[in-house]
Structure 1
Amino acid sequence: MMTKTAPPAEVARAPSGPAIIDGTTPAHQAVRNIVADLAACQAGDLNWSEMSRSLLVHGAPGTGKTYLARQLSEAAGVAVVEGSFADWQAAGHLGHMLAAMIKCFDEAIAKVPCVLFVDEIHAAGSRFGSDQHGMSYRTQVVNGFLQQIDRLARTPGLILIGACNQVSRLDPAITRPGRFDQILRMPFPSIADIKRILAKGLANTLPESEIDILARAAVGKTPAELDAALRAAAADARRQRLSMSSDLLRRHLGIDQPNPELLRRIAVHEAGHALAAELLVRGSVVKLSLSDRDGRIERRSTFVELTVQEIENELLILMAGRAAERLVLGTISGGAGGDGDSDLALATGLVLQMDRELGIGRNGDGWLGPADMHRLTEEEKQRVRAKLGRAERKAYALLGSRKDTLVNISNDLVLRREMNASALAQWVGGTPFELVSPTPEDTA
């Protein structure tokens, strides 16, 4: 029998407690805290005004943002109402769109105690974006949304969970204090979380040792991808009258034929970032992860005072992945480029910020506003190329003095697929490396 989706505002039949919220991210912990506080509030042990009542979760599609809101509802034993900007905008012109939004909020208020989940908040746009087309529409949409959030703040028992892919695209008024109590990123799952997801779907099917190996190979997969692969593999096994196997699941996860050369290049690239970061700002790296198709590094901000030295360090770290490829493999790939979150994009943005917005670059005390990447002057382009070239050469020199360490980190990453700060520290050792003060060439 096909599973029927429950109505959006259906109340969970029985609370099963915060134990069902079994993820390990800060967002999962925040939801556990909300569940506990809501229970205390309902018992009269906590005032509504004292608890955290809203959470904005951002991250890549498929990382489990929607599921997190449903877990909260189930754990607390309260209703959940779901809405999204895409659904509201599908209602028609501006008036119809705002009416659909208000109807969704009205429904949640009527079902108190309740969780209201609002997806795709980034679709509201920003009143301060460079694209002025449709600005009047966006202004009214954002203002309407802010009015509805303010209504919820005056409604005891209503928890607001918002979700978006890119928090940087949101209007500043949505993210300022007073709208959402917490703003947290939903990262790709760790090996421990992947193992937990796989173990649920493979209970009594595969031994734990095989699930461990699968979890390491599946780094970089989202919970949605893992769930889909588990269901597809189970369906194949059922139709073909076969037992579930690692090979079958690997095929559906797309990890059955890893490319060892690509894995090594990605590992070297990420190891370059990590080693440079640890040499310059000890303790800044949180985690490294390696999938069959890409790698990721999570690290704390290197900025404290936003000085020229700190920015030069950050430029070096951003260019260190590219420098590591050149140092160890003899060639570079396009892995440092890509979208607006790529190494080259972030480094380019920093150079332009120094010159145009921070008052510590080419234009001295002048503030010229954010750069339009499509309208850079030839002088700006040449300056970006020159500064990034210098940063890569410095990164190459820094890593060259620790080449053996760099290779060891990359090899270990290929085996582990995930390295935390402790595992990385075993390879780095020693004391932080200090760059010499910026030269006039750096700040000119």
Structure 2
Amino acid sequence: MKKINGKQLAKRMAIAMILGLAAGFGCIVLREYMLGNGYNETWNTINNLLFADISKEENANAVGIFYILGQLFINALQLIIIPMVFTSIALAMCHISDTKKLGRISYKTIGYFFLTSFIALIVAGIVGFGVYHAGLFEVEINSTLAGGTGSTASNPLMVILQAVPNNIASAFTNNGGVLGIVFLAVCVGICINTLGEKIEVLKKLLQEVNDIVVVFLSFVITKFGPMAIFFLLTRTFAIYGIDHLKPAAAYVITTILTLLLFLIVGYALILFVTTKLNPLPFLRKMAKVSLFGFSTSSSAATLPLNEKTTVEELGVSEEIASFVLPLGMTINMDGTAIMQVIAAIFIAATAGYDVTIGNIAIIATLALVASIGTPAAPGAGAVILFTILTGLGYTNDAAMLAYSLILAINRPIEMLVTSLNVIGDSSASVYVAKSEGLLDEETYHS
């Protein structure tokens, strides 16, 4: 039944994605026609009715039907992120009585994440350097696209401090502080494990809360997931005009092709080399998770479906998945790192800075550190990019103008980045489960 439901859900999500892309491109054509023929007011009316972000002050009188429906779905998923991460990891710690085993799982998980990130950065550096030397990043940036300067970015090393929260109440009320929740859950789980039979009520409470989360999750994703994908995709493409995409077509195409290469080929090869498993079942079953991540552009919102698919369809032990996936959502950002390296090279090229192999090595190092501290939320990667630019000294007016362009057009790329990040988390789960003898290979190959 689970297998049938998984296939049906994947089919419905694929249909929703195709319809959403078709409707979105149709809206782009309609938008360009109306704005090019003097029907600005008509388009503004359509935009306010269907697509406007009603949370912005300038859209106080807008309706934003597609925005509301898509955001309600994302909010429903984000609602259970903290309880799901906390209960699943704490319970996983309770079930791992062997401290040596816990240490092995942690080392293998973090080691796999660093391996994939290292490979991703090398690929991004080679591609970016090649495109730069081909002269394809020499584009003219229109000053009218200038936007924010990314001043909200912070030192990426702050992620170390945020890993240990100083207030337990605030830790449970902030979806952006998932790493702190991971720390608390591990500590609570280990303490329960150490106390053994003395702690029964709390363990049962954690299990019951986790059961509620699973039921809620299944209902929301199964019933509303495909519809939400349609609304989110349609709106995303409808709010971007052709003029915003033309100036940096080289950046967009280069980044998208690199991300797709790593998503389809990179993870397949890494999984085959590290586990000797056929990667095709993995890619096939994770397709719906990738589509879901693409639509929501949020690793956090995709975590529930990712865990469900990884356990039920790939045969990974829940003990492994409940530890690896939330941790990966926080520190494994292969797609974000690729985007940031290529974006930094693009900005340097357009702003007149020299790009050398040494500079790319520094960019890659900063991207690795910054991507680890990137929140699992839409648009976060482009904001954190500002940290890399300031670290390299790419701060002249031309660089800030190019960075503003990235902020303006990066939404479609961020969507694909999320697909890469969530697939990487799941592949890590398969690797760790396989190495620990906790992978049901019959389920994986089915």
TM range (shorter): under 0.3
Whichever structure has more strand as a proportion of its residues is 1
Structure 1-normalised TM-score?
0.24
Instruction: Answer 1 or 2: which has greater helix percent.
Output: 2
| Length-normalised TM-score, structure 2 | 0.24
Structure index of larger Rg: 1
Which protein, 1 or 2, shows the higher relative CO under an 8 Å CA cutoff with sep ≥ 6?
2
